[in-house]
Amino acid sequence: MRTLRYKITIRPETDGTYTVIVPSLPGCLTFGDTIEEALEMAKEAIEAYIESLAARGIDIPVEEDQIEATITVEANA
């Protein structure tokens, strides 16, 4: 068994819940009522996603060293 790490995005929703997206695993997303619950659900979603890929003989995506940045722009919207 190996340890895999995935970056996630946590997005607060207008209803007070939190959506978690795993960019390296297309379609892998979940949510929770709190950040803690969303993180717990994300771990379960990632594990299920990886198990599904392995069961179908599909290579498991591994995040390479990536550079991340945040860009700030001004918009007249």
pLDDT at residue 68, as a whole number: 74
Pairwise CA distance, residues 28 & 19, whole Å: 11
10 touches 18 (CB < 8 A): yes
Pairwise CA distance, residues 9 & 20, whole Å: 6
- pTM for the structure as a whole: 0.81
Pairwise CA distance, residues 74 & 39, whole Å: 31
Whether the per-residue pLDDT at 69 is higher than 80: the answer is no
pLDDT at residue 3, as a whole number: 87
Q: Per residue in 6-65, pLDDT tens?
A: 999 999 999 999 999 999 999 999 999 999 999 999 999 999 999 999 999 999 998 876
Pairwise CA distance, residues 71 & 37, whole Å: 29
What Cα–Cα distance (Å) separates residue 52 from each residue in 25, 42, 67? 12, 15, 28
